[in-house]
Amino acid sequence: MIEIDKTDGLWTVTINRPDKANSLTQDMLSTLVDIAESAGDPASGVQALILTGKGRVFSAGADLDAARAGLATSDLWERLSGAIAALPCLSVAALNGTLAGGAMGMALACDIRIAVPGARFFYPVMKLGFLPQPSDPVRMMALIGPARTKLILIAGQKISTDEAFTFGLIDRIVAPEDLMETAHALTADSCAARPEIAAGIAALCGPQ
């Protein structure tokens, strides 16, 4: 249910469980962690990474049964976002739809986020009785500031695509039919550059 395509230095990782809103099981989350950590190895040859999903939802976060069994508080979420943030290459979250719950962390850790119209953004951890992963509020505040972060995490608000763009939570709104083409265009220069140059510029821009 996690697909990966490796073509000319570009890794495209797709969450493919649309019948369950691309919610993540323990095995799916573990696979995403393995991919992200493997991409961080200089020997991997990765020059850019795109995260996306199938269907109308990017990811609803943890599968409900898995969440009840402990996945909601697993350290795998933090490992995943940490591995993505540490990548020495450009990372793009191509959000094909709504982004919710713990799945927010992997998108926040990406360098660039693009989303289709009609996507919603929410993170109802307080309502569900959990704390967010430690790095998620930090990255969210860096993007949109503390008040808007509290609007999502404490006030429990669902943010529209237009609001997310205005806030700075996403960087572009893209028509669904253009989403992957746009993601590929954003990574084209990185894939064409010498890896050490792309990595050096990424380092100069600072961590996510």
The span from the CA of 72 to the CA of 129, in Å, is: 10
Query: Residue 204 has what pLDDT?
Result: 80
Q: How many helices (H) and strands (E) does the chain have?
A: 10, 10
Mean pLDDT over all residues of the chain?
94
Helix, strand, coil share of the chain (percent; to 5): 50, 20, 30
Per-residue confidence band for 122, with pLDDT thresholds at 50, 70 and 90? very high
Please give the class, per CATH, of domain 2-205: alpha beta
Arithmetic mean of pLDDT, 164-174 = 98
Question: Per-domain residue ranges for the chain?
Answer: 2-205
Note the maximum CA span of the chain. 46
- The residue type at 144: I
Per-residue CA distances from 203 to 17, 88, 131, 200 (Å): 34, 8, 30, 5
d(CA 82, CA 97): 23
Give me the pLDDT at residue 205, please: 82
Tens-digit pLDDT profile for residues 42-65: 889 999 999 999 999 999 998 988
Q: Give the pLDDT confidence score for residue 208 in this predicted structure.
A: 64
* 116 in Cβ contact with 179 (< 8 Å): yes
> What's the whole-number mean pLDDT along residues 171-187?
98
Q: What are the tens digits of pLDDT across the range 91-106?
A: 999 999 999 988 999 9
Q: Where is average pLDDT lowest: 6-20, 69-83, 187-201?
A: 187-201
Q: What is the pTM of this model?
A: 0.94
| Percent residues over pLDDT 90 in the chain | 79
Confidence of residue 200 (pLDDT cuts 50, 70, 90): confident
